[in-house]
Structure formats: structure tokens, C-alpha cells
Structure 1
Amino acid sequence: MCRWLAYSGEPLKPAELILDTKHSLVAQSLNSPLGNETVNGDGFGLGWYGGDPVQGATPSLFHSIEPAWHDENLRELTNAISSPLFFGHVRAAAGPPIQQSNCHPFRYENWLFMHNGFLDGFAKTKRELAFAVDPSLYPLIHGTTDSEVLFYLALTEGLQDDPIGGLGRAIRRVEEEGRKAGIEYPMQGTVAVSDGRTLWAFRYSTAHKSRTLFHSTAIPELRELYPDAARLDVFGAKAKVVVSEPLTDIPGAFVELEESTVAILDDDGYRHQDFLREAA
């Protein structure tokens, strides 16, 4: 459906990952070997936090319906800013129209959210899921994607206080409404969420056959393995990236996240936790 990446660590120009790596996000928008769609050219988005974010800081957004490989503004912007935490997303539309309000990432206050996948049979459950969103949040849904509804449903379910539990409860609601409508596997995808300090990356699907998701190995470990790799010099010791598919062919540079797992990335590094492994 799409490809995405999320970076956390020392301030970095997004172009280093979005444009300049061998299998960069823009390269994946043209040719995605591990994706369900080879080309992801139906718009893109960038979300980033300031150079020294504080808890509660509002991230900035840039969305475009241009193919990522064709947009000069993306090159200018990703080389001009430096951010300790940013999201990038390239879209392959699967129903909802190509328009800026349908481009990821989505933002609410200090939170960013993006999704690769779909809610199967969304046309049959859209009304129930949208009306389950808190009335104070419902007017903030500007686009027509299932992903944005999932985000606001997760906010309704307590995402801000409990990101893992909030998204888990939202997905269970999706599965409940889907099964009422006769949909066997309502949820598919990988999700990234951040409050500007911590990054949560989820891999889950009802069928337990989720889209691919990887995160980088710790930079100090990579420097020990590859002391002559000049490419690593641009990254600080705390640099971490989560990606739909690896950005490089270097053996050991990326670790695949297991099915029904959330990776939690912060200043202490990364850790994994089971996510919705129990039967629905």
C-alpha cells in the first residue's frame, strides 16, 4: 500500500534517509522490492519536530500529491531542516482519492501517526468507526482514508496516555465492527506513532501476515562491525530508524520486527513488546 520511515536520535537532515541512502524512501517510491505495490507515487508526506523538542511541541507537516521522486520542494526541504525525530511516507492509493488531506503522516497536537496497510471492507464499517470517534475529535478528520479514522479512533481510546493500549483498543474495535460486517481479516498494517520524545512502531494484522517492518541496529554496534564504513559517520550514537524495508544492503544493519510486536524507541535505545498476540 505504502512505504514509510521514522527516525529518532541526534538531529539529522531528513535527506540523508529520504533521498541519499541507496534504498532511500524516494528510491522505494519508484521501486519497492518488499512492498505489495512496486510503485508508490500517489503523494507523500513529511512530519518533523524542531531541533530541540520539548514535551508537547507541535510537529510541522509537508504534504504533496506529487510523486516523491518528482518534487523539487522535497529535496529543498529535507536538505534545509535538521530534526531529531521525523516521519516520511510515500503513498500508493487504494481507493481514497489522491489529495493532500489523505497524505500521511497525520497530526494531532504533539502527536504524529502514519500507517502502511488498510482496514479491509472499510466502506462497510466506516460509519460505525467514524461515529465511534469522540465528538470533540470528529471535526478534525479532514481526509477520507481509513488510516486517519484509525488515528482518531486511537486518540478516542486513550492513545495520548497509553499509546500501546490506545492503539490496541482501536484495532480491536476495527476487528469487532469488521466481523459484524462479515469481514474475516479487518486489520492490516504497520503503524508509527510519536509524541516527539518516544517512537512506537507496530506490526500487526488480523491474519498475522503483516506488511514488512524493520529497525536499524544500534550505531555503536554497526561501527564495531564496519569500522571503515564512512556512511555511518553522519549518524550519532543514538540514531535509530524504523522502515518498511531496509535502506541499505549492509548485512546486519536492520532487524525485522516480528509479527504482533511493537518496538519502543527512545533515548535508552529500543525494546520490543508483544502487541495483541491474544486472540481477538
Structure 2
Amino acid sequence: MCRWAAYRGEPLYLEELVSSPAHSLIEQSHCATRAKTATNGDGFGIAWYGDHPEPGRYRDILPAWSDCNLKSIARQIRSPLFLAHVRAATGGGTRRDNCHPFVHGRWSFMHNGQIGDFEHLRRPMEAMLDNDLYSARTGSTDSELLFLLALQFGLDSDPLSAIAETLAFVERLAEHLERKVLVRFTAALSDGHDLYAVRYASDWKAPTLYAAPMGPSGGYCLVSEPLNDDDNAWVEIPDGTAVIVGENGVDVRLFGTQDAAPSAERIGRVASGKM
């Protein structure tokens, strides 16, 4: 499983999450403590927002602990909103196009989790994308495809509903094809204004998610596991929950896919290739 950290608030240097804390993201890349896999050495990435609507991004296939540029970049770049990720591959080769965060326009996205029997669901999932979004797919991971499907299902207008419809689509598609119905999804995403996170799993075994205040005034950090040993500072976000960090603070909501289920007819058309 991967590890990630995200922040929104008053501008901070990226090193405050990536390299400085006792259990920083770089430390988690070779010694994660709350994951099935302690080592997350299949690449890393950071995405940050500055003076332009689109995020900047830096990714590489090196383990985060061995990249000679990452600490320097994290020390020099300051941002009010950024995402950082270290990867433990569960599917897709170790290549830059498969490293998170993924970006499209003003959106950035990173994910920790998996789709059961993804190799049997990939083609009908891709068939749901319009030509522009299909052309935007450069990697081979389930994570990137979930991001593009969320864009297809209206991420720009209603982010949480788009995520719910995406996950519901995958679950119903797996059921229709008589494959394993398993979605584990703990993700962070942003449009450059608000920071969103979702923790959800169809089997109630979603990867972990924690939150804590950070920064000089009203900032908030969302992470796969705490960045230090101050247990009183970190709150575990329950399974089946969405978090929105915006200019007015933190909004926590229940999250599920029951009300977002696509029709059986639509699933059948996609699965049969008759869009």
C-alpha cells in the first residue's frame, strides 16, 4: 500500500510534510508503520499550487529516500495547498506515468488502495471515457483510471458525487461481470481551492486516513499515517467518510456509493461494448 500526505492552509514549505517531521513521508517510504507493506519504494511524486490554476508537479521512479533532488525541492517550495505521495505498486509497472499525483487541468489526485480483479475490469472502465479523457491516460494503473472516470462523471461540478458515482460504477461492473466486488479507496484530490479526501471500501477495510491541524492559522493536514508520535494531535478518519478542507475550515461528511449506483442497463451496455 502507498503512503501520502496533503495540506491546505497558510503557505508552508513542502518539507514540513515531506522531509522534516520525525515520521515524514520520506521516512514512511522505507519504514511505514501502519501499512501492510513497510517499504514504499516504487516512485514518488509531489503536486503543489502557486500562482497558476494548474498545479506544478515533480515525479520520479526512484525511491523517495534516494532522490537527491526531493529534499532540496521540498525545502525551497512553499505552497498553501499541496499533495505528496510515495508508491508501493500493486499494479502497473514502475514508471513515471504510474507515479502519483496525477493531474488534469486544475485537478490533482492521489490514491492508496486497489480494485479487485482490475485486469478484467480495465477495458470496460476505459470504455466509459470520452475521447479526450481516454487520450489523457498515459499510465496503466487503476488509480489514474479512477481519477479520469471521476472527471468523466462530473468532478468539476460536484467532486464528492463524482467520486461516489465512479466507485459505484466499478462495484456494479464487477458484480455484472461476476468478478470480485472489491474497492479499497483512500484518496486525496484538489482543484487548487479546496482539498478533498475520501476513505471508503466495499468490504469496510479501507486504507488508513488521519487528520490534524497544521500551520500558523487554520491549516490542516491529511495523511495516511501520523507524521509524529503526538497521538493527541491526530484524529483517525472513519471508513465511509469524506473530508473537505476549505477556506472556512474542515467539513466532515458520511460517504457511500448506495445512492450513486448507475443503472443495470448502463452497466450492461458498457460491459458488452455497446456504448
TM-score by length of 2: 0.91
> In 1, are the aligned partners of 2:23 and 2:227 still within 8 Å (CA)?
yes
Q: Does 1:71 align with 2:51?
A: no
1:43-192, aligned counterparts within 5 Å?
43-50=43-50, 57-192=53-188
Q: Does 1:12 align with 2:18?
A: no
Displacement after TM superposition at 1:277 (Å): 6.2
SS of 1:211 mapped into structure 2: coil
> In 2, are the aligned partners of 1:179 and 1:186 still within 8 Å (CA)?
no
Displacement after TM superposition at 1:251 (Å): 2.9
Corresponding residue to 2:239 among 241, 259, 266: 259
Distance between the aligned counterparts of 2:144 and 2:258, measured in 1?
Answer: 25
SS of 1:160 mapped into structure 2: coil
Count residues in correspondence: 260
Corresponding residue to 2:217 among 228, 231, 237: 237
Distance between the aligned counterparts of 1:213 and 1:33, measured in 2?
Answer: 13
| Letter paired with 1:46 | I
| Letter paired with 2:207 | R
Q: Does 1:271 align with 2:251?
A: yes
Structure 1: segments with no counterpart, 5+ residues: 220-234
**1:119-177 Cα shifts (integer Å, max 9, x gaps):** 11110000000111122211000000000010000000001100000111011111111
Distance between the aligned counterparts of 1:11 and 1:42, measured in 2?
Answer: 29
Q: Which residue of 1 aligns with 2:34?
A: 34
> In 2, are the aligned partners of 1:260 and 1:277 still within 8 Å (CA)?
no
| Letter paired with 1:189 | F
SS of 1:92 mapped into structure 2: coil
> In 1, are the aligned partners of 2:168 and 2:258 still within 8 Å (CA)?
no
Identical residues among aligned pairs (%) = 40
Distance between the aligned counterparts of 2:204 and 2:57, measured in 1?
Answer: 32
Structure 2: segments with no counterpart, 5+ residues: 262-275
> In 2, are the aligned partners of 1:17 and 1:25 still within 8 Å (CA)?
yes
**1:66-113 Cα shifts (integer Å, max 9, x gaps):** 000000110111111110000000000123100000000000100001
CA RMSD of aligned residues (A): 1.3
SS of 1:72 mapped into structure 2: coil
Displacement after TM superposition at 1:278 (Å): 3.9
Q: Which residue of 2 aligns with 1:229?
A: none
Q: Which residue of 2 aligns with 1:21?
A: 21
**1:189-236 Cα shifts (integer Å, max 9, x gaps):** 2011101110110000111110000110x35xxxxxxxxxxxxxxx21
